[in-house]
C-alpha cells in the first residue's frame, strides 16, 4: 500500500467541519480589523527564503524542501508565508498603495522537522501581515487580531509573551555582549548551540535543552540593551495593550527563529498542549521589504498553526458541535418512488435545505437505520400508494411524532420540517 509521506496527514470528513470553523473564525475576525486575503504560490525561488527568512536560520539551513526543476532552477516549497507576501507586494507594484496594507493568508507550509504532536512536515498556517505602519499602535493592533481569534475560538488557557530584540542600531552591541557571555560557556552548550554561537547567538536563548536554558538564564537580556527609540516603542506597545485589556508578560527568551524580526516579537503559548506549545508567533520586520528589493517599509505580522489551535481547543474543551445533519431523509420503496424522491430532494436543495434520499437500493429497514446514523431530523417514506395519493407520512425522528403531508406542496413540506417560507 502506498502511504502518505512521514509528517503529513489526511484531514478526514469528520474532522473538516472543525477546520472550516477555525478558518471561518480567523477570516471573519481578520476582516473586522480590515484585512483582505492574499494567495501566493506554494513554491517560490529558493533565494526568496534564503534572503527573507535568513541563511543562518534552522528553517533555511535544515528544514526546507528544495528541488531543482527541469531547467535546473532551484525552488522551495514555502516554509512560511511572510517572505512570499513581501515578494508579491513588490512584484505587483503594491508598495505605493494606500497604507497600511493589511493582508491575511491561509496556507499549507512545509518544513523538514521531526514530527511529533503539534509538529508536522506539512502544516497549515493562518497569518496576517501589515505593511506601512511603524508605530507601536500597529504592533498592538496586530496582536489584537491574534488575541481575538484565539479568544473567539474559546482558547482560554493561553498566555501572551512579548519581547523586543532591538533594531540594527542597538542589536549589534547586544549581540556581541551575548556572544561573549555564551563564548565563556561554550564547552557546556549543546552541539546545535555551539554552531549557533558564531552564526546567531540570539537563538541559544530559546534552546530547549536544560543545560542551555540554565546558562541562558544568566545571559544579558535584549530588553536591557535597547536604544532609546526601541525602548520607547516597547513602552508604547505596553500602554496600548494595557488600554486594550490584553494581558501579557515580558519574556526575554522569546527571540523567534526567523532572521527578519526587529523590535517587537511575540508568542501566544498554551502549555496544555505539550512541547510544541506556541499556537501563534509573530513580530515586527522593518527591514524585510528592503532586503527583498522593495522600498524601506515597516511591517508586522504573525502566523498561527491550525493543528496547534485544534489541540488547544481540545485542551480547553471549546470544540463546538459543528456537525451538519440532514433536515430530511426520504426513504423510497421502488424505482418510481426513488424517482419521485429525487424531484422532491432537488427542489428542497435549491431552497437551501440539506436533504438526502436512498441511492444504493437499501431495504426499508436498512434505510431507516441509515437515516438514524446520519442524524436526519425528519424522514419520509414513499411507496407506490403514496405516489398515487400524493400524501405521505413525515416522521419527526427526534420527537417520534408524525404528520401527513402533501408530496406535491414543497412549501408545506418545508414548513413541516421547520423552515420559514
Q: Which among 314, 369, 289 has a CA at the least distance from the CA of 118?
A: 314
- How many Å apart are CA 287 and CA 83, to the nearest integer? 12
Residues whose CB falls within 8 Å of the CB of residue 324, separated by 6 or more in sequence, listed in order: 17, 354
Q: Which of residues 48-107 bind ligand HAM (CB under 6 A)?
A: 80-82
Angle formed at CA 132 by CA 129 and CA 137, multiple of 5 degrees: 80
Rg for the chain, CA atoms, rounded? 28
Question: Which residue's beta carbon is nearest to the bound ligand HAM?
Answer: 305
- How many Å apart are CA 223 and CA 73, to the nearest integer? 42
Q: How far is the CB of 138 from ligand HAM (least distance, A)?
A: 12
- How many Å apart are CA 185 and CA 91, to the nearest integer? 45
When the beta carbons of 267 and 356 are compared against ligand HAM, the nearer one is 267
When the beta carbons of 294 and 326 are compared against ligand HAM, the nearer one is 294
Q: Are the C-beta atoms of residues 257 and 57 closer than 8 Å to each other?
A: yes
Residue in 233, 308, 340, 395 binding ligand HAM, rule: CB under 6 A = 308
All 3 cell numbers of residue 270? 498554551
Residue in 38, 48, 279, 353 binding ligand HAM, rule: CB under 6 A = 279
Part of the chain binding ligand HAM (CB under 6 A), chosen from 18-26, 87-95, 298-306, 411-419 = 298-306
Q: Are the C-beta atoms of residues 384 and 336 closer than 8 Å to each other?
A: yes
Q: Report phi then psi at 366, rounded to 5.
A: -65, -35
Q: How far is the CB of 165 from ligand HAM (least distance, A)?
A: 13
Q: How far is the CB of 350 from ligand HAM (least distance, A)?
A: 41
When the beta carbons of 302 and 378 are compared against ligand HAM, the nearer one is 302
**Site for ligand HAM contains 119 (CB under 6 A):** yes
Residue in 23, 113, 157, 177 binding ligand HAM, rule: CB under 6 A = 113
Residue in 105, 302, 377, 378 binding ligand HAM, rule: CB under 6 A = 302
Q: How far is the CB of 73 from ligand HAM (least distance, A)?
A: 24
Q: Are the C-beta atoms of residues 236 and 226 closer than 8 Å to each other?
A: no
In the complex, the residues that contact ligand HAM under the rule CB under 6 A are: 80-82, 111, 113, 118-120, 123, 125, 127, 129, 257-258, 278-283, 301-305, 307-308
Amino acid at each position: 500500500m502506498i502511504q502518505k509521506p512521514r509528517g503529513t496527514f489526511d484531514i478526514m470528513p469528520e474532522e473538516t467541519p472543525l477546520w472550516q470553523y477555525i478558518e471561518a473564525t480567523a477570516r471573519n475576525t481578520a476582516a473586522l480589523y480590515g484585512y483582505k486575503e492574499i494567495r501566493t504560490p506554494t513554491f517560490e525561488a529558493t533565494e526568496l527564503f534564503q534572503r527573507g527568512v535568513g541563511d543562518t536560520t534552522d528553517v533555511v539551513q535544515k528544514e526546507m524542501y528544495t528541488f531543482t526543476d527541469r531547467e535546473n532552477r532551484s525552488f522551495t516549497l514555502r516554509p512560511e508565508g511572510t517572505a512570499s507576501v513581501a515578494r508579491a507586494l513588490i512584484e505587483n507594484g503594491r508598495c505605493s498603495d494606500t497604507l497600511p496594507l493589511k493582508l491575511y493568508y491561509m496556507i499549507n507550509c512545509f518544513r523538514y522537522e521531526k514530527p511529533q504532536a503539534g509538529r508536522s512536515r506539512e502544516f497549515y498556517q493562518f497569518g496576517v501581515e501589515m505593511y506601512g505602519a511603524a508605530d507601536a499602535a500597529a504592533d498592538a493592533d496586530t496582536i489584537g487580531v491574534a488575541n481575538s481569534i484565539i479568544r473567539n475560538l474559546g482558547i482560554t488557557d493561553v498566555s501572551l509573551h512579548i519581547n523586543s530584540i532591538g533594531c540594527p542600531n542597538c542589536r549589534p552591541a547586544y549581540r556581541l555582549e551575548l556572544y561573549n557571555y555564551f563564548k565563556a560557556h561554550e564547552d557546556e552548550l549543546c552541539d546545535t548551540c555551539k554552531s549557533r554561537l558564531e552564526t546567531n547567538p540570539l537563538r541559544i536563548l530559546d534552546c530547549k535543552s536544560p543545560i542551555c536554558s540554565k546558562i541562558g538564564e544568566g545571559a544579558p537580556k535584549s530588553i536591557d540593551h535597547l536604544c532609546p527609540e526601541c525602548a520607547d516603542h516597547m513602552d508604547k506597545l505596553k500602554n496600548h495593550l494595557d488600554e486594550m485589556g490584553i494581558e501579557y508578560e515580558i519574556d526575554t527568551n522569546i527571540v523567534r527563529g526567523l532572521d527578519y524580526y526587529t523590535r517587537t516579537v511575540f508568542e501566544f503559548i498554551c502549555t496544555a498542549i505539550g512541547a510544541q506549545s506556541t499556537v501563534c508567533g509573530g513580530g515586527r520586520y522593518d527591514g524585510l521589504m528592503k532586503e527583498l528589493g522593495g522600498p524601506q517599509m515597516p511591517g508586522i505580522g504573525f502566523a498561527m498553526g491550525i493543528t496547534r489551535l485544534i489541540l488547544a481547543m481540545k485542551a480547553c474543551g471549546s470544540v463546538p458541535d459543528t456537525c451538519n445533519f440532514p433536515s430530511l431523509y426520504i426513504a423510497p420503496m421502488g424505482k418510481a418512488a426513488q424517482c419521485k424522491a429525487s424531484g422532491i430532494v432537488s427542489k428542497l436543495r435549491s431552497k437551501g435545505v440539506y436533504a438526502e434520499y436512498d441511492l444504493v437500493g437499501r431495504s426499508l429497514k436498512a434505510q431507516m437505520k441509515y437515516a438514524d446514523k446520519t442524524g436526519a431530523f425528519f424522514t419520509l417514506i414513499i411507496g407506490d400508494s403514496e405516489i398515487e395519493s400524493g400524501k405521505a407520512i413525515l416522521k419527526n425522528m427526534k420527537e417520534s411524532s408524525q404528520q401527513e403531508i402533501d408530496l406535491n406542496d414543497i412549501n408545506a413540506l418545508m414548513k413541516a420540517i421547520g423552515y420559514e417560507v
